[in-house]
Structure 1
Amino acid sequence: MGRLAGRTAVVTGASRGIGRAIALRLAADGADVAVHYGGSESAANETVARIEKAGGHAFAVRAELGTAGDVDTLFTGLERGLAGRPLDILVNNAAALPAGPIETDTPEQFDHLFAVNVKAPFFIIQRALPLLRDGGRIITLTSVATRVALPGQTSFAMGKGALETMTLTLASALGTRGITVNAVAPGATKTDVNVPVFEAPGIEEFLTGQTALNRLGRAEDVADAVAFLASDDGRWITGQVLDASGGLHLGVRS
């Protein structure tokens, strides 16, 4: 039996990319996984099918984050799928793509980004607290953009910084229930979602050269970090940001 056998999890934005990899990994460890998606039902169903083919259990839940009633919609589907069971693991992974730089960012883009990347995770956690079992896990995906200057992603980095502050404060607030609250910060991670980003001439080589471990990240690299924090092995870690970037932008490589 897997180390998460008998536990339940919800992963937002789990139809593709890093979210899918996290859902697959948690399911492989034995968790029953709610696969949240915002737009592509077929992609979410593919994630569920892959989990079930491997012998795991999963169900899809649709909610378009950043819209009115998004949290209510998510939890209506989640509670239906849980069928009275408590929740053990909440992974806030869904995010709107970066906008900017500041010269071209707009109030509408800014508001949408913060609605999806900051407001939704905050109120998803709020709504999850009565369902979340004591000793549970809350894990939020942030970014190395909070520790390095990326002028083209200012508003995106601001939002991820807010999530890291949220992580710190909620770890203190929820610790008496044995709930750990942590963040995982990916770096340059190539997935099925963002392949076009890495097709620009020279970008893959540049980012590899800026990464201490000398390659781009894979979705599974991030999923493994999340799985560690979700497991009993992560029981004594809370209020932390785990950098899962392979050492992106640590300094000049010799």
Structure 2
Amino acid sequence: MGQVMARRFAREGAKVMVAGRNKDNLRNLADEIDGSSCGCDITNQADLRALVAATLDRFGKLDVAINATGYGLLKPFLETTRADLDYMTAVQFTGPFQFFQEVLKGMADSGSIIQISSATATIMLDNHAAYMGTKAGIDHVIRCIANEYGERGIRANSISPGLTDTPMTSEAFQTPAFVELFRKEYPLGRIGTVEDVAEAALWLASDACFMTGQNLQVNGGLTLRRNPRQKEIEALLSSSAT
């Protein structure tokens, strides 16, 4: 999702710094879009500080910052361990919180902060509580940033996709019946794409966007309905195996 957004922004003329833990992939992407890359683990505040410094050193300013990290843990509530919670919180709450802190220090008196959230921060999905809770929590932090930093001309918003075909969900997309079980809950009749998210991010980043502190539900109307329950998913997978 982050890679698609980087390519989309570059096509519009943005100078893009891509960051993450896989330095080889980052360098290849940066070369492709005529941008720059910086190795960064979002759970490491020193890395985050270095990322912002590298961006300012390379481009002279920081206008837009997007966090697209996620850890797709699916685990029953009572089986979720302290280790699971610690890692999930580091990746999806503490890390993003500190990322936004560093970004705000480096951003001039205008700009756009964008958090990639999830429809499940609003509607339910079984066995997903740690993921959902941390996404919902950082969405509220986004609202706090919007409230406190609007006077500096800085906007902060979230984007909430539904089920999207990404490396994190690639295994699920190998079962067409599984995808169909979800698809029928989308009023617009299809599963979302990473391109949908990139287009939304581009608008949120633009000067034409008069919006802040909002959660943009880019999920084809999924939140008007629901995700399938776990028992429905298990019944589907069981019938597919026989």
Aligned to 1:138: 113
User: Aligned-residue CA RMSD in angstroms?
Assistant: 1.7
The verdict on how the C-alpha distance between 1:106 and 1:99 changes in structure 2, with shifts beyond 3 A counting, is: farther
The verdict on how the C-alpha distance between 1:81 and 1:87 changes in structure 2, with shifts beyond 3 A counting, is: closer
Question: Is the CA contact (8 Å cut-off) linking 2:19 and 2:51 kept in structure 1?
Answer: no
Aligned to 1:43: 25
Aligned to 2:130: 155
| Unmatched tracts of structure 1, length 5 or more | 1-17, 53-57
Question: Is the CA contact (8 Å cut-off) linking 1:94 and 1:117 kept in structure 2?
Answer: yes
| Unmatched tracts of structure 2, length 5 or more | 227-242
TM-superposition CA deviations, 1:137-183 (whole Å, max 9, x none):
11111110011111210111100110111111111100110100100
| Aligned mates of 1:28, 1:129 — CA distance in 2 | 25
Aligned to 2:81: 106
Matches within 5 A, 1:11-50: 18-38=1-21, 40-50=22-32
| Aligned mates of 1:185, 1:140 — CA distance in 2 | 9
Aligned to 2:220: 246
Question: Is the CA contact (8 Å cut-off) linking 2:114 and 2:157 kept in structure 1?
Answer: yes
| Aligned mates of 2:175, 2:42 — CA distance in 1 | 30
The verdict on how the C-alpha distance between 1:193 and 1:146 changes in structure 2, with shifts beyond 3 A counting, is: closer
**Total equivalences in the alignment:** 225
| Aligned mates of 2:168, 2:225 — CA distance in 1 | 28
Q: Shift of the alpha carbon at 1:201?
A: 5.6
| Aligned mates of 1:20, 1:202 — CA distance in 2 | 28
Aligned to 2:39: 62
Instruction: Calculate percent identity across the aligned residue pairs.
Output: 28
Aligned to 1:116, what secondary structure does the other structure show? helix
| Aligned mates of 1:187, 1:114 — CA distance in 2 | 21
In the superposition, the TM-score normalised over structure 1's length comes to 0.83
Aligned to 1:204, what secondary structure does the other structure show? helix
Q: Shift of the alpha carbon at 1:192?
A: 4.2
In the superposition, the TM-score normalised over structure 2's length comes to 0.87
TM-superposition CA deviations, 1:176-221 (whole Å, max 9, x none):
1010010000111112443212223621111111111111111111
Instruction: Out of 104-113 and 76-85, give the one that drifted further.
Output: 76-85
| Aligned mates of 2:80, 2:86 — CA distance in 1 | 10
Aligned to 1:65, what secondary structure does the other structure show? coil
Q: Shift of the alpha carbon at 1:250?
A: 1.8
Question: Is the CA contact (8 Å cut-off) linking 1:145 and 1:157 kept in structure 2?
Answer: yes
The verdict on how the C-alpha distance between 1:42 and 1:221 changes in structure 2, with shifts beyond 3 A counting, is: same
| Aligned mates of 1:153, 1:19 — CA distance in 2 | 22
Question: Is the CA contact (8 Å cut-off) linking 2:52 and 2:106 kept in structure 1?
Answer: no
| Aligned mates of 2:69, 2:146 — CA distance in 1 | 21
| Aligned mates of 1:186, 1:180 — CA distance in 2 | 20
Matched, 1:202 2:174: no
Greater CA radius of gyration, 1 or 2?
Answer: 2
Q: Indicate which of 114, 122, 129 corresponds to 2:97.
A: 122
Aligned to 1:157, what secondary structure does the other structure show? helix
